[in-house]
Amino acid sequence: MSQVLSPLPGTFYVKPSPEAKPYKAKGDVVAVGDVIGLVEVMKTFIEVKSEKAGTFREYVADDACPVSAGQPVASLEF
Amino acid sequence: MPIKRLFIANRGEIAVRIVKAAKELGITTIQAHSDADKDMLAVRMADEAVTIGPAAAKDSYLNVDRVVEAAKASGADAVHPGYGFLAENAGFAKAVTEAGMIFVGPAASTIERMGDKVAARQAAEAAGVPVVPGSKGRVETVDEAALIAGAVGYPMMIKASAGGGGRGIRIANSEDELRELAPMAQAEANAAFGDGGLYLERAIKSPRHIEVQIVGDGTRAVHFYERECSLQRRRQKVWEEAGADCLDEATRDELCRTAVALAEAVHYRGAGTLEYLYDPGTNEFYFIEMNTRIQVEHPVTEMVTGFDLVKEMIRVCGGEPLSVSQDQIKRSGHAIEVRLNAEDPFMQFLPFPGKVERLKLPEGDGIRVDHFMYEGYQIPPFYDSLIGKLIVHGRDRADAIAKMSRALNSLEIDGLKTTVPLHKALARDADVAADAFHTQWLEPWLDAGNLSSEQM
């Protein structure tokens, strides 16, 4: 198992807009560089990308909630 | 002073600024804050502090009901909105007034009127303030467009009457070009919006952004001269000056006179700013919009005039008449403000909300720093990246730039990435020294690699 970490502190989002579907769902294939979520930091949206390839398991941070830098936001399995 | 207890519905450096001004007026300060802002400087400085909700601004600083409820419950008799958040929200101003408190700003109806582009343009025209010349309404045919363009003058911007954004915008430099481009713009407008109506406006190439500070008491208004704010990145001001050396005295007088005329015509109360585009080529200026609040860059005006604008706005909103007449307001020297943002200028200005490890601020005659930092303060990531403003006042523009350079060199904020390197580079740039820039200058300058880490 591996975790995707937030690169910055801010507010984490699992989807690109309130109406959209989450970026990933359980069982989705994840490639290196795939966007997993967004972090809003000081009114700027930064994409959170996976540094590993694998299968998406779950989000471990809640949508639209504060996260700190280095905090796990999702988990993958291989 | 009818205001005894002032509720500050904002955060960051402007909250600190308001707390200081209110204390000097003998007013008790009540600082609103979100859960993420418990440790902010204004909370520590204010007489009282009140939590208004969670970190997300929409649930705290932008939540009208919560803010009004908290203000009411705190026993406040007035609410200062600062800038941003709810400062230009007419519904908020109305809710504050209906709850029996004073809104430190203009009447809700004035905010509404000046916040509407068309209504503001009409109010400006009625008060004799020049607006960007163009067609009075929609234009249906190419011949009609050519007739209007001939009267207004080229270059002419052709826009779709319906819709917004940049869709269908074309610039014609002559009637031949207009006759070629207008049908294309019409076709595109029709395809995009199902409406081929056009709107024409004079294209102002490489304009400068000039604005006039006014304060009104509802009957009378005065101006505190102009500011020059053309150095912008992504429409955000980066470096601001008072005054605008590019203006001659006659143009400056006319600009300021018309600003007062408009403020008095709308019975303006509080501090406000009229923004203009200035065409240095033709020496013409055009009103674009009015900001009905105190602005980030108000300190440069305070430096050259010696007046405290925040105190004055609190006094007039409390019901006092203006404390000054126009002939008492003089300007001396030149002031510059730079915005200190927690961003990495070498990494596409990526926000960098770190912890302030060590803080050394420049001191001296004509140097001012408005900020909300202290050593050990963790900057929250949920809000704006503005962490402070460095303001200098010199004998003239060259002296102010030299003073800005020295002040930037003695400023140390450890633990964060800030926009200080950008300001250092601007302070030694030849075009900046020559006052040869406009609103479209900074972004190409950055794209051309004028800011690189090797130079620092």
B94 and B215 in a common domain:
no
The answer to whether B41 and B374 have CB atoms below 8 angstroms apart is: yes
Who has greater pLDDT, B454 or A61? A61
Q: Which strand (E) or helix (H) includes residue B59?
A: none
Distance CA(B316)–CA(B220), nearest Å, equals: 11
Whether the CB of B381 is below 8 Å from some CB of chain A: the reply is yes
B294 and B374 in a common domain:
yes
Nearest to B349 by CA among B423, B293, B400, B399: B423
The answer to whether B290 and B380 have CB atoms below 8 angstroms apart is: no
CB atoms near residue B341 (< 10 Å): 26
The arithmetic mean of pLDDT across residues A21-46, rounded, is 95
B449 and B382 in a common domain:
yes
Low-confidence ranges of chain B (pLDDT < 50): none
Q: Does any domain span residue B306?
A: yes
Distance CA(A38)–CA(A59), nearest Å, equals: 12
pLDDT in tens, B364-376: 999 999 999 999 9
pLDDT in tens, B406-428: 999 999 999 999 999 999 999 99
B437 and B289 in a common domain:
yes
CB atoms near residue B404 (< 10 Å): 25
Measure A1 CA to nearest chain B CA, in Å.
Answer: 29
Token digits for B108?
């809700």
Domain hosting B71: range is: 5-104
Closest residue in A to B382 (Cα) is: A42
Q: What is the structure's pLDDT at B1?
A: 65
Which chain A residues have a beta carbon less than 8 Å from that of B383? 42-43
Distance CA(A42)–CA(B430), nearest Å, equals: 32
B335 and B283 in a common domain:
yes
Distance CA(B239)–CA(B423), nearest Å, equals: 8
Q: What is the structure's pLDDT at B167?
A: 60
Give the ipTM of the model, two decimals please.
Answer: 0.82
CB atoms near residue B22 (< 10 Å): 26
Q: What is the structure's pLDDT at B201?
A: 86
The answer to whether B130 and B284 have CB atoms below 8 angstroms apart is: yes
Q: Which residues pair with B242 in a beta bridge?
A: B335
Q: What is the structure's pLDDT at B223?
A: 98
Q: Does any domain span residue B114?
A: no
* Mutation site for B-interface testing, chosen from A12, A39, A41, A42 by largest number of B Cβ within 10 Å: A42
Which chain B residues have a beta carbon less than 8 Å from that of A9? 353, 381
For residue B142, what are the CA distances in angstroms to B26, B137, B187, B196, B204?
64, 14, 12, 11, 22
CB contact under 8 A, B353 and A9: yes
B439 and B354 in a common domain:
yes
B298 and B168 in a common domain:
no
Distance CA(B316)–CA(B222), nearest Å, equals: 12
CB contact under 8 A, B351 and A44: yes
B148 and B70 in a common domain:
no
What is the distance of C-alpha B430 from the center of its chain?
Answer: 26
Nearest to B317 by CA among B41, B81, B23, B20: B81
CATH of the domain at B184: 3.30.1490.20
Whether the CB of B385 is below 8 Å from some CB of chain A: the reply is yes
Q: Does any domain span residue B135?
A: no
Give the three-class secondary structure for A74.
strand
Q: Does any domain span residue B311?
A: yes
Distance CA(B387)–CA(B444), nearest Å, equals: 25
B339 and B192 in a common domain:
no
Which chain B residues have a beta carbon less than 8 Å from that of A8? 351, 353, 381
Distance CA(B405)–CA(B127), nearest Å, equals: 41
Any idea which residues of B carry the catalytic annotation? 293
Q: Which residues pair with B200 in a beta bridge?
A: B158
CB contact under 8 A, A11 and B382: yes
Q: What's the number of domains chain B is made of? A: 3
Which chain B residues have a beta carbon less than 8 Å from that of A41? 351, 353, 381
Domain hosting A22: range is: 2-77
The answer to whether B275 and B291 have CB atoms below 8 angstroms apart is: yes
Average pLDDT, chain B: 94
Q: Using CA atoms of B14, B24, B63, A20 in order, give the dihedral in degrees to the nearest 10.
A: 10
Q: What is the structure's pLDDT at B120?
A: 86
Give the three-class secondary structure for A56.
strand
Whether the CB of B77 is below 8 Å from some CB of chain A: the reply is no
Token digits for B216?
């009104």
Among chain A, residues having any CB pair with chain B shorter than 8 Å are 8-11, 40-44, 46, 64, 66
Q: What's the number of domains chain A is made of? A: 1
B163 and B286 in a common domain:
no
The answer to whether B106 and B88 have CB atoms below 8 angstroms apart is: no
Q: Which strand (E) or helix (H) includes residue B60?
A: none
For residue B368, what are the CA distances in angstroms to B86, B198, B388, B432?
27, 49, 10, 21
B256 and B379 in a common domain:
yes
CATH of the domain at A27: 2.40.50.100
Give DSSP secondary structure letters for B136-175.
SS-B-SHHHHHHHHHHH-SSEEEEESSS-TTTT-EEESSH
Residue B410 amino acid letter:
S
Sign of torsion, CA B235 B106 B20 B66? negative
The answer to whether B382 and B55 have CB atoms below 8 angstroms apart is: yes
Token digits for B33?
């804050």
CATH of the domain at B408: 3.30.470.20
B235 and B179 in a common domain:
no
